[in-house]
Structure 1
Amino acid sequence: MLIKMTVRGIALDPITNMPIVILKDPEDRRALPIWVGIFEANAIALELEKVSTPRPMTHDLLKNILDGLGITVQQITVNDLKENTFYATIDLNYNGRVVSIDARPSDAIAIALRTNAPIFVAENVVAQAKNIEVSEEKEETDKWKEWLENLKPEDFGKYKM
């Protein structure tokens, strides 16, 4: 089963200082943190903040190519989690035919935001993600879990480049 989610913001992991994209369902019952790289976080943040750049960035270029070819993004799906790595697909509609493309979740999310495509997460991925051990040391794991459980909308703020 798929759960529709939206990007609620980007936060920094308090332990590693790596960016995390936070996906949440509409009822705020389930959240999925996905660790991403700095450049990917910037691409997502630019679109979240509707910052225009003088020249097309990579994800903007890809959107322009899709638009130019008459291809629409039907949806993106975070569909798997293996060895602490998330997997996603971008479903493209090309002349009535759906083509599913393997992608990193960060790229898929950046594309979904630019094309207003819905974001889905497989229910088993959300369940599996709850079991990920963030750190070997219990103290750090507890600190991280407490931080994630207590996230509030104002904690996201504006992501600075």
Structure 2
Amino acid sequence: MDIEMRIRGLMMDPNTNMPIIVLKDVGSDMVLPIWVGIYEANAIALEIEKQSASRPMTHDLTKNLIDYMNGRLDRIVITELKDDTFYAVLWLTHQGEAMTVDARPSDAIALALRADCPIYVAEPVLALAKLNTSGPSDGPSAEQLKKWLEGLNDDDLGRYKM
């Protein structure tokens, strides 16, 4: 079963200085942190803040191509967590036919924001992530990180700055 998530915030990991996308379950307080690269975080931040680049970014180009071909991005699903790496799938419809395309979660999320489509996480991924929430480096324990993420308020997740 897939769980619908929304972006709770985009912030910098205080230990690694890497960007984190914080997804939150729409039906509970469960959060899922996904560490991403600077460029991917910037693409997501631009869309969160409803700013546009002077030229189309890759995610804008992808959305424009989908639209031009009379396709539709229906949803994205973060499907797997293997070796500390998340995997995602784009669910598209083109000429009445459903299809899936493999994607990095950060790209899928950036595209979902642009297409205004739902973001889902497969239930087994959430279960696995609960066991492995220490991020990409040796930092706080999984329990410390879980408490930190669940305790974030709107000020903590304030405007994302590069």
Task: Please indicate the TM-score interval, normalised by the length of the shorter structure.
Answer: over 0.9
Q: Give the aligned partner of residue 69 of structure 1.
A: 69
1:8 aligns with 2:18: no
Q: CA RMSD in A?
A: 1.7
| AA partner of residue 153 (structure 1) | D
Aligned runs of 1:32-51 on 2, under 5 Å? 32-51=32-51
Does the aligned pair in 1 maintain the 2:21–2:35 contact within 8 Å?
Answer: yes
Match of residue 103 from structure 2: 103
Identity %: 52
Give the secondary-structure state (helix, strand or coil) at the position aligned to 2:140. helix
Q: What does 1:1-161 align with in structure 2 at a 5 Å threshold? A: 1-132=1-132, 134=134, 140-141=140-141, 143-161=144-162
Deviations 1:135-157 (A, max 9, x none): 785x7326534422321122111
**1:36-94 CA-partner distances (Å, limit 9, x unpaired):** 00000000000000002221111111111111111100110001111111010001101
- Unaligned segments of structure 2, at least 5 residues: none
Aligned residues: 160
Separation of aligned partners in 1, 2:118 and 2:24: 13
Q: What is the SS of the residue equivalent to 1:42?
A: helix
Separation (CA, whole Å) in 1 of partners of 2:31 and 2:25 = 7
CA distance in 2, matches of 1:120, 1:148: 19
- What is the TM-score with the length of structure 1 in the denominator? 0.92
Distance in 2 (CA, whole Å) between partners of 1:152 and 1:56 is: 32
Q: After TM superposition, what 4+ stretches of structure 1 lie above 3 angstroms from structure 2?
A: 142-146
Shift of 1:26: 1.7
Q: Secondary structure at the match of 2:64?
A: helix
The normalised TM-score by structure 2 is 0.92
Q: Give the match's secondary structure for 2:77.
A: strand
The amino acid of 2:130's aligned partner reads: K
Point out where structure 1 has 5 or more consecutive residues left out of the alignment.
Answer: none
